[in-house]
Amino acid sequence: MENKDTKTSLFKLSRRDFVRLGAIGTSGLLLGVPIACSGEKHEMLLGKADAILAPNLFVSLSGTGEVTIFAHRSEMGTGIRTSLPLIIADEMEADWNKVKLVQAQGDAKYGDQNTDGSYSVRMFYQPMRIAGATIKTLLLQAAAEEWMVDVSECKAENHEVIHSSGKKFGFGYLAERASKLPIPEAANLMLKSPEDFKFITKKTSIYDLEDIVTGKAVYGLDVNIPEAKIAVIKRNPEAGAGIIDFDSKDALNIEGVSKIYQMEAGGFPLEFDKPVGGIVIIAKNTWTAIKARDAVKVNWKKGVNSNYSTNDFLAEMSQTAQKKGKAKRTQGNINEALKNADKIVKSDYLVPHFAHSPMETPCAVAHYKSDGSCEVWGPVQSPQWVRGAIAGALELPEEKVTVNVTLIGSAFGRKSKPDFMVEAALISKEINGPVKLLWTREDDIQHDFYHSICAQHLEIGIDQSNKVNSWLHRSIFPPIGGTTSVSEKEASIGELCMGVLDMPYEIENISCETNEAKTQIRIGWVRSVANINHGFAIGSILDEVAITRGVDPIENALELLGSDRNIDFDSLVDGFSNYNEKVEEFPCNTSRLRKVIETVKEKSNWGKTMPKGQGMGFAAHRSFLSYVACVVEVEVNDKKEIKIPMVHYVVDCGTAVNPDRIKAQFEGGASFGASLALKSEITVKNGAVEQENFNNYLVARITDAPYNTEVHIIESDEKPTGVGEPPIPPFIPALCNAIFQATGQRIRQLPIKLV
Amino acid sequence: MAIFQLDINNQKMEVDCAPDMPLLWCLRDELVMTGTKYGCGKALCGACTVHVDGEPVRSCSLPISSIENKKITTIEGVGMKTLHPVQKAWIEADVPQCGFCQSGQIMSAIALLNKTPNPTDDEIDAAMSGNICRCGTYVRIRKAIKSVAKNNL
Ligand code: FES
Ligand code: FES
């Protein structure tokens, strides 16, 4: 899921990587590239004609002291557009009020831009620090030369360089002189020590805050291209299936409709970056296009998945889960151990498909121009993929495709796929002019890349001395890979390393298994991916184990964690996938997991007496290299209505770059988890999704979401790790365990239905 | 097609469009006022909330022919010179994540606070439950509304 063949190491600038800032002319300024790239010429200006110091692609400084920072990752609500630039600003000692952000276009020169998988800060923390330290070092050097003093007598502070005598220069004044200096080697840079951080680990509000509350922020369809037509597409209810024929006579009679034509459907399996296709309706405004779409009559073809019905499929997968599967992690002898166990806790867990349903539906603006170039604007998580996909679809060289990234009205993984952008580009070429493509909410809910439906079977053995001695976990679900390839028939190791194979508990006999399950609809990654299912099952069964053993659930988890250690997963699992990081660099450290569990126990006042109808539940889960423990308090009334008055989270995500945004991710994560646990479900019948809009694809509203969410961040100097996705996996089982305490009902299927 | 006279944010405007066109698309497509968002088109999510004569309504489901001679206020019309207290409270509490739902949330909150300067939790629930936030900023929305209420006391 992560395209990371680019490396983030800084490399020495070679002559041909330098380009001049055209507007500056004679200043002799060179612009380098801090992140590994292809070495071709980068002619893009820094966006500021008056920038005179630009030692790398990410930051420049003008003579008036204005700093421009390129935000190269996509902003979908995590605050990343703010959090990476503030790292540069901190290292360079800039005044945040003098920083202007420019959103970078999709271009391989920036290195990885795929904003997905909760790794932006993890991957770019160090490069951003180096980018900032580079420019600071140049400014210090310039000041020292001007004063003819040793550079060690100078320091940078709040947009100035200050000499030990007290004299100072503003950054802007030094820019010109600094631009003539050689760029320092990354290895020679001094990075700040954590106690000197001004922004990192402190709170910084998001850059776009005021634009958002005044309605000025620009999302996908807010891009104003005069003369743009509007397009909507009528799609086969069965993803990928084609069209027999269609009748557009009535629709064409509607005033303002200019064209109706067929865009080939992609078949199945399909490509993430190919259009879904259907009947394209072009009109002068959205309302007309929507009305005309209703008036088009289509005879749809049946496709290869027209027998797909989730009810039957879930039953079939449950059957599969009862049988011995293909073991992907084995320790000890599970059969023997279970045979000899004193007690076995056995349970099955079912999870439906979910839709991302981002608040802003997929949408795109495209302009194919007469010179054979194509410019697009849209809410995309992966602009380079969009660029390549459009170049491929239109048969253009990549240089002819410009991808502008707007703010993203949330995504949760949906907008990492370029399909909707490619559709818009193809339409623009077809009509020879600019177009805005809207996916209506119905399109979004019926043609998503869904979270994978899943059945799990677990058996946990307890021996005569009341110790847990065996762990059998079977997880059956159609793989994401099956969306694009028939040869992907079972969950991949990467997907199983989201909870199943990286299970951290110290148990003697372990078997983690999977088996075949056919992908029959578009499946993709939804916020925390397979961790949703596995966190739910593991967090839930541990509660059952604790109760069976007569041990407090938190004590149970702490005991099972065993000795403090880094787990050597590489030797336990063939092809272990550690969120694309080396296990040595980001080990699974049980003492860090222990710490978040112990802390949540204390912070939540765990074990306090709850009134009748209320309960507290606990779960912990490591995902995206972060450690999270969660306690949920729940209230269930006589009508079986569920309220969540309080959620306690403790997270260890290494260095907490922007703590308020981390807290926001957890508050929002609890709400997202509440949607999945209590409300949402995609069902498919005869190949077609049965839900269509928020009337039957339900999501958490203010009345369903937790009333309060307390987030405690463990202080740490470790490398930063993910925060966008890790809130989800422990929340759902903690909620279910709380419901058990409140009502005595065990939840083994999502969404929760109380009886 | 027909000509409609509209009063939006205290400005007289004229649009030429189909009578059944919802105000949302009139604002976005015809008047290029894009602060009001599309989220569902079926009065289910609140992203398109505007005020009609002070009442919060879902503009995606409001035909243009029904609002002539009524006063429309959109997110662009609140806090034109200085920020509205609700907008300030939103900034103070760092409410937005992606921000896409927030125009609608703010319009609903302003309407609530105009009528009920000191809403209870139940009143907040009733007024705000039509507004979905997929990022889940609900805790801070409630907090921001309460902070405005406190200043109203
Ligand atoms: S767009 Fe109007 S309520 Fe959703
Ligand atoms: S802030 Fe993203 S949907 Fe509300």
Please indicate, yes or no, whether residues B66 and B6 belong to a single structural domain of this protein: yes
Q: How many C-beta neighbours within 10 Å does residue A488 have?
A: 17
Q: Is the pLDDT of residue A44 over 80?
A: no
Does A441 contact B42 at a Cβ distance shorter than 8 Å? yes
- Of A78, A87, A81, A83, the residue nearest A126 (C-alpha): A87
> What mean pLDDT do residues A418-426 have?
97
- Can you tell me whether residue B12 is helix, strand or coil? strand
- Kindly report the nearest CA distance between residue B69 and chain A, in angstroms: 22
- From the CA of A360, how far away is ligand 2's center (Å)? 9
Please indicate, yes or no, whether residues B71 and B126 belong to a single structural domain of this protein: no
Q: What's the rounded Cα separation, in Å, for the pair A750 and A310?
A: 13
Which candidate from B18, B91, B106 shows the least CB-CB separation from A209?
Answer: B91
Question: Would you tell me which residues 413-452 of chain A have a C-beta closer than 8 angstroms to some C-beta of chain B?
Answer: 438, 440-441
pLDDT by residue (tens digit) across A566-608? Answer: 999 999 999 999 999 999 999 999 999 999 999 999 999 999 9
pTM of the model: 0.93
Please indicate, yes or no, whether residues B71 and B9 belong to a single structural domain of this protein: yes
One-letter amino acid for residue A61 of the chain: L
Question: Would you tell me which residues 98-117 of chain A have a C-beta closer than 8 angstroms to some C-beta of chain B?
Answer: none
Please indicate, yes or no, whether residues B112 and B58 belong to a single structural domain of this protein: no
| pLDDT score, position A23 | 26
Q: What's the rounded Cα separation, in Å, for the pair A290 and A17?
A: 49
Provide the terminal-to-terminal Cα distance of chain A, rounded to the nearest Å: 39
Boundary (domain end) residue, out of B15, B50, B76? B76
Boundary (domain end) residue, out of B76, B102, B123? B76
Half-sphere exposure (CA, 13 Å, Cβ side) for A682?
27
Q: Which residue has the higher pLDDT, A59 or A670?
A: A670
Whether A282 has its CB under 8 Å from any CB of chain B: the answer is no
Please indicate, yes or no, whether residues B48 and B106 belong to a single structural domain of this protein: no
Does B134 contact A705 at a Cβ distance shorter than 8 Å? no
Does A694 contact B139 at a Cβ distance shorter than 8 Å? no
Please indicate, yes or no, whether residues B6 and B72 belong to a single structural domain of this protein: yes
Number of domains within chain B? 2
Under DSSP, the state recorded for A749 is B
* Residue in B21, B103, B105, B139 to test binding to A, most A beta-carbons within 10 Å: B139
Supply the range of the domain harboring residue B10.
2-76
| pLDDT score, position A476 | 98
Which candidate from B44, B83, B136 shows the least CB-CB separation from A695?
Answer: B44
Q: Is the pLDDT of residue A18 over 60?
A: no
One-letter amino acid for residue A118 of the chain: S
Using only C-alpha atoms, what is the Rg of chain A?
27
| pLDDT score, position A118 | 75
Look over chain A and give the mean of its residue pLDDT values, rounded to a whole number.
Answer: 91
| pLDDT score, position A4 | 33
- From the CA of B80, how far away is ligand 2's center (Å)? 23
**C-alpha angle with apex A397: A375 to A276, nearest 5 degrees?**
65
> What mean pLDDT do residues A445-467 have?
98
Look over chain B and give the mean of its residue pLDDT values, rounded to a whole number.
Answer: 96
Q: Which CATH number does the domain housing residue B24 bear?
A: 3.10.20.30
Q: Picking from A71-85, A611-625, A703-717, which range would have the lowest pLDDT averaged per residue?
A: A71-85
Closest ligand, as measured to the CA of B94: 2
- Kindly report the nearest CA distance between residue A708 and chain B, in angstroms: 6
Closest Cα to atom 4 of ligand 2: B133
Q: Is the pLDDT of residue A339 over 60?
A: yes
Question: What number of helices (H) and strands (E) belong to chain A?
Answer: 18, 29
Please indicate, yes or no, whether residues B8 and B72 belong to a single structural domain of this protein: yes
Phi, psi of A236 (to 5 degrees): -60, 130
Beta-strand pair B49-52/A257-263: unpaired
Closest ligand, as measured to the CA of B141: 2
The alpha carbon of A273 is separated from its chain's Cα centroid by a whole number of angstroms, namely: 18
> What mean pLDDT do residues A501-520 have?
98
Please indicate, yes or no, whether residues B11 and B46 belong to a single structural domain of this protein: yes
Phi, psi of A67 (to 5 degrees): -100, 130
B26-34 contacts: CB < 8 A, separation 24 or more?
B26/B64, B27/B59, B27/B74, B28/A221, B28/A286, B29/A230, B29/A285, B29/A286, B29/A287, B30/A285, B32/A224, B33/B8, B33/B74, B33/B76, B34/A215, B34/A218, B34/A221, B34/A222, B34/A224
- Of A728, A753, A748, A755, the residue nearest A321 (C-alpha): A748
Q: What percent of chain A has pLDDT over 90?
A: 82
Residue A50's pLDDT band, with cuts at 50, 70 and 90, is low
> What mean pLDDT do residues A397-423 have?
96
Q: What percent of chain A has pLDDT over 70?
A: 93
Q: What are the structure tokens assigned to A380, written together?
A: 């995309």
* Residue in B138, B141, B142, B146 to test binding to A, most A beta-carbons within 10 Å: B138
Identify the closest residue of chain B to A356 by CA–CA distance: B134
pLDDT by residue (tens digit) across A207-246? Answer: 999 999 999 999 999 999 999 999 999 999 998 899 999 9
Whether A253 has its CB under 8 Å from any CB of chain B: the answer is no
Boundary (domain end) residue, out of B29, B45, B76? B76
Residues with CB under 6 A from ligand 2: A 77, 359, 410; B 96-102, 133-135, 137
* Residue in A212, A224, A254 to test binding to B, most B beta-carbons within 10 Å: A212
| pLDDT score, position B112 | 98
- Kindly report the nearest CA distance between residue B145 and chain A, in angstroms: 13
- Of A518, A521, A452, the residue nearest A316 (C-alpha): A518
- Of A145, A146, A166, A255, the residue nearest A155 (C-alpha): A166
- From the CA of B132, how far away is ligand 2's center (Å)? 8
Provide the terminal-to-terminal Cα distance of chain B, rounded to the nearest Å: 49
Q: What's the rounded Cα separation, in Å, for the pair A274 and A267?
A: 10
**With left for phi above 0 and alpha for psi between -120 and 50, is residue A148 left, alpha or beta?**
left
Please indicate, yes or no, whether residues B99 and B55 belong to a single structural domain of this protein: no
The alpha carbon of A313 is separated from its chain's Cα centroid by a whole number of angstroms, namely: 28
Closest ligand, as measured to the CA of B103: 2
Q: Is the pLDDT of residue A29 over 50?
A: no
Does A206 contact B36 at a Cβ distance shorter than 8 Å? no
Ranges under pLDDT 50 in chain B: none
Q: Is the pLDDT of residue A32 over 50?
A: no
Q: Picking from A55-59, A396-400, A534-538, A692-696, which range would have the lowest pLDDT averaged per residue?
A: A55-59
| pLDDT score, position A671 | 98
Q: Which residue has the tokens 């990371």?
A: A4
Here the ipTM equals 0.98
Please check whether residue A670 is in contact with residue A695, taking contact to mean a CB–CB distance below 8 angstroms.
no
- Structural domains of chain A ordered from first start: 11-213 (3.30.365.10), 220-304+362-438 (3.30.365.10), 322-355+449-743 (3.30.365.10)
Q: Measure the CA dihedral A137/A141/A143/A145, to 10°.
A: 180
Ligand 2 atom showing the smallest separation from residue B99 Cα: 1
Please indicate, yes or no, whether residues B12 and B57 belong to a single structural domain of this protein: yes
Q: Which CATH number does the domain housing residue B113 bear?
A: 1.10.150.120
Please indicate, yes or no, whether residues B17 and B49 belong to a single structural domain of this protein: yes
Please indicate, yes or no, whether residues B21 and B44 belong to a single structural domain of this protein: yes
Q: Which residues contact A43 (CB under 8 A, 6 or more apart)?
A: A19
Identify the closest residue of chain B to A79 by CA–CA distance: B97
Please check whether residue A557 is in contact with residue A618, taking contact to mean a CB–CB distance below 8 angstroms.
yes
Residue A30's pLDDT band, with cuts at 50, 70 and 90, is very low
